[in-house]
Amino acid sequence: MDGYALDDEPAADDLLLGDGSGLSAEQLSRAEERRRRRDVIEEGAPREGVDIIRRVEAAVIVGVQLPGRTSADVEASLDELEALLDTAGAEVVERVVQRLDTPQAATYIGGGKVGELRELVAAHGADAVVFDDELSPAQQRTLEERVKQKVLDRTIVILDIFAQHATSREGKAQVELAQLNYLLPRLRGWGTALSRQAGGRTAGGAGIGGRGPGETQLEVDRRRIMRRIAKLRRDLKDYARIRETKASERERNRVQVAALVGYTNAGKSSLLNRLTGADVLVENRLFATLDPTVRRLPLDDGRDIVLTDTVGFVRKLPHGLVEAFKSTLEESLTADLLVHVVDASHPEAESHIVAVHEVLEEIGADAGAEQLVLNKIDRADPATVEALARRVQVELDADPVLVSAHTGEGIEDLVERIGLRIPGQRIRISAHVPYARQDLVALAHRSGQVVKEAHGDKGTELVADLDVRAARRLRPYLDVDVFAEEPEDWERETGT
Ligand SMILES: Nc1nc2c(ncn2[C@@H]2O[C@H](COP(=O)(O)OP(=O)(O)OP(=O)(O)O)[C@@H](O)[C@H]2O)c(=O)[nH]1
Ligand SMILES: [Mg+2]
């Protein structure tokens, strides 16, 4: 069967209604309601884009417990899949878990389970089955044939959320590239949706109740997608070049960068707002932020650094997506310090830390300095936070700062810690310091490298490499006022 010609199978809908399917009267009537609404929707206009999930209302989700994973692991991952689907606008009506020694080649789960799934889907009037793991194109196709309904996986859900939320040109291009790369090997199955995207239904009645597009149409689609992929790659290279230019401008201005990274919904944007008075969208939703935001952060010692906020990570983040977002994430790659934000009130906090480290490793950003921040301590149990802090100290050799972006608790500590972890820049100064201010000469010795020191009749002639803070205190006696031209508006350059 080609395409999601769902209405080919009206029988599946009628199959179990009113029989001993085990559903409550309420569940049955909701299933009936969904069917009615969907009929209306299917009549409606074709939608734009590859928006597969937006067409899903009610999903059955499937997790597999492989050796080495506890059932709690599987449930936690399914909780997250449910949250992802919720973000994408779909409701989960049932979850199915199977224990397996190894995934089945043809259908991932076992044959008996597939039959069960088919019945569940029909009984609930669900319009999709979503697997928590990535399926191969062949598995997906086989499952669709047997379950008689659309079969999706976690990857496409995440891709769809990203597609819904991306706002910048670069973000949109990155997501589209990842989507098309995912789609290309699955074209046989996705033909219908694509033909619609191309502007109308394919000749031959590929729409409701029709057959999928023929081979020729598939070839056309495939070539068109490949051309589009090539174009997106070129565009992304251009965007990356622009980004590089900005980064090297910042380099020239010797601005240092701290990047907020962390699991989605950890509170990165909230912290950026709290630390810099920014006004970035904060939502109790996964992937609220997709586009990087850059803000100036004044440190206690008078230095200004740049703080960046970017897309959050999640377990099993599709590889294509990480690849596509590499240039956005480059900000973290080149940062002087990674500020890794953790939702300390989340029961899965530790596995989130691990997942974030995995993604950082994948993009090659795991080498630099990292400051762990345990956020949301206002809503977490203090004993739990303490225990978590102790465990990360022992296991990761991290010295976390405890904060609440909401109440502001710990924020001063965090700023101080960032200042300590980001090495002060040194600048070369030359000065004539009067004998009355020998304390400043002593300061130069303490906080930097004195290159030359000579005693003349007016005072001490000094050449030294100092951190900016110390240098600023010598300002009245500098031979050249290096602070006269401080950059002022670089934080607006990526403006939002
Ligand atoms: N109680 C409490 N809630 C917080 C705190 N910080 C953030 N939140 C809430 O956590 C949710 C996510 O916050 P965001 O700042 O959007 O998180 P994020 O890490 O930027 O999330 P993404 O951009 O989706 O990756 C929001 O509902 C915030 O109000 C905190 O310190 N305490
Ligand atoms: Mg955010």
What does DSSP say about strands 151-153 and 128-131: parallel, antiparallel, or unpaired? parallel
Counting atoms of ligand 1 from 1, which one is nearest the CA of 282? 16
Higher pLDDT, 40 or 181: 181
CA distance 399 to 418: 12
Comparing 177-181, 212-216, 394-398, the range with the smallest average pLDDT is 212-216
pLDDT of residue 389: 96
Highest mean pLDDT: which of 40-44, 124-128, 487-491? 124-128
Pocket test residue of 271, 282, 313, 353 for ligand 1, highest count of atoms within 8 A of CB = 282
Residue 311 known to bind ligand: yes
- Give me the residues near ligand 2 (ion), CB cutoff below 5 Å: 269, 288-289
Which residues neighbour 110 within 8 Å (Cβ) at sequence distance 6 or greater?
98, 100, 104
Residue 105 known to bind ligand: no
What does DSSP say about strands 426-433 and 460-467: parallel, antiparallel, or unpaired? antiparallel
Give CA separation, 379 vs 104, 130, 275, 486, in Å: 42, 32, 19, 41
Which token pair is 493?
Answer: 């350059």
Q: How far is the CA of 406 from the centre of ligand 1 (A)?
A: 9
Alpha helix positions (H), 148-214: 154-165, 169-183, 187-197
pLDDT of residue 486: 57
CA distance 201 to 195: 6
Counting atoms of ligand 1 from 1, which one is nearest the CA of 270? 15
pLDDT tens for 320-355 read 777 767 766 766 777 889 999 999 999 999 999 999
Q: In what order do the strands lie in the sheet with 460-467?
A: 426-433, 460-467, 448-455
Residue 405 known to bind ligand: yes
- Atom 13 in ligand 1: residue holding the nearest Cα: 267
Residue located via tokens 């074209």: 187
Contacts within 8 Å (CB) and 24+ apart, 474-479 = 474/429, 474/431, 474/433, 474/440, 474/443, 474/444, 477/431, 477/432, 477/433, 477/434, 477/437, 477/440, 478/429, 478/430, 478/431, 479/429, 479/430, 479/431, 479/432
Considering the chain, tell me which residue range(s) the CATH 3.40.50.11060 domain(s) occupy: 6-166
pLDDT of residue 103: 93
pLDDT band at 252 (very low <50, low <70, confident <90, very high): low
Residue located via tokens 């004044």: 298
Task: Report DSSP state, residue 8.
Answer: G
From the number of C-beta atoms within 10 Å of its C-beta (0-12, 13-18, 19+), residue 129 rates as buried
Higher pLDDT, 160 or 488: 160
Give the three-state DSSP class for 294: strand
Q: Please provide the average confidence, as pLDDT, over all residues in the chain.
A: 80
Q: How far is the CA of 274 from the centre of ligand 2 (A)?
A: 13
Pocket test residue of 270, 274, 385 for ligand 1, highest count of atoms within 8 A of CB = 270
**DSSP-derived secondary structure for 432-449:** EE-GGGHHHHHHHHHHEE
pLDDT of residue 14: 35
Which residues neighbour 415 within 8 Å (Cβ) at sequence distance 6 or greater?
275, 297, 299, 300
pLDDT of residue 1: 35
pLDDT band at 196 (very low <50, low <70, confident <90, very high): very low
Comparing 144-148, 219-223, 477-481, the range with the smallest average pLDDT is 219-223
Task: Report DSSP state, residue 479.
Answer: S
**Angle between helices 326-333 and 215-252 in degrees, nearest 10:** 20
Give CA separation, 161 vs 22, 27, 84, 274, 426, in Å: 33, 27, 8, 26, 44
Q: Is the pLDDT of residue 17 over 50?
A: no
Q: Is the pLDDT of residue 165 over 90?
A: no
Ligand 1: list residues with CB < 6 Å: 262, 264-270, 282-284, 286-289, 312, 375-376, 378-379, 404-406
Question: 6-166: which CATH number, 3.40.50.620, 3.40.50.11060, 3.30.70.1140, 3.40.50.1820?
Answer: 3.40.50.11060
pLDDT of residue 184: 86
The separation between the first and the last C-alpha atoms of the chain, rounded to the nearest angstrom, is 46
What does DSSP say about strands 448-455 and 460-467: parallel, antiparallel, or unpaired? antiparallel
Residue 288 known to bind ligand: yes
Give me Rg for the CA atoms of the chain.
28
Give CA separation, 58 vs 107, 155, 208, 277, in Å: 21, 18, 20, 40
For the whole model, what pTM was predicted?
0.68
pLDDT of residue 331: 66
CA distance 359 to 196: 35
What are the E-state strand segments in 405-477?
426-433, 448-455, 460-467
Residue 290 known to bind ligand: yes
Considering the chain, tell me which residue range(s) the CATH 3.40.50.300 domain(s) occupy: 254-421
CA distance 109 to 102: 9
Residue 306 known to bind ligand: no
pLDDT band at 254 (very low <50, low <70, confident <90, very high): low
pLDDT of residue 283: 73
pLDDT tens for 444-476 read 887 678 889 999 888 999 999 887 777 888 999
Into which CATH architecture does domain 254-421 fall?
3-Layer(aba) Sandwich (3.40)
Q: How far is the CA of 341 from the centre of ligand 2 (A)?
A: 11
Q: How far is the CA of 109 from the centre of ligand 1 (A)?
A: 36
Q: In what order do the strands lie in the sheet with 293-298?
A: 293-298, 304-309, 256-262, 337-343, 369-375, 401-402
- Atom 6 in ligand 1: residue holding the nearest Cα: 267
Which token pair is 185?
Answer: 């090997």
pLDDT tens for 282-294 read 777 677 676 667 8
Q: How far is the CA of 154 from the centre of ligand 2 (A)?
A: 21
Counting atoms of ligand 1 from 1, which one is nearest the CA of 287? 24
pLDDT of residue 45: 31
Pocket test residue of 265, 317, 375 for ligand 1, highest count of atoms within 8 A of CB = 265
Counting atoms of ligand 1 from 1, which one is nearest the CA of 265? 21
Q: How far is the CA of 412 from the centre of ligand 2 (A)?
A: 21
Counting atoms of ligand 1 from 1, which one is nearest the CA of 407? 31
Percent of the chain with pLDDT over 70: 79
Residue 289 known to bind ligand: yes
Which token pair is 381?
Answer: 């149990």
- Atom 27 in ligand 1: residue holding the nearest Cα: 284
Beta bridge partners of 306: 257, 296
Return the closest-CA partner of residue 286 out of 328, 329, 324, 343.
343
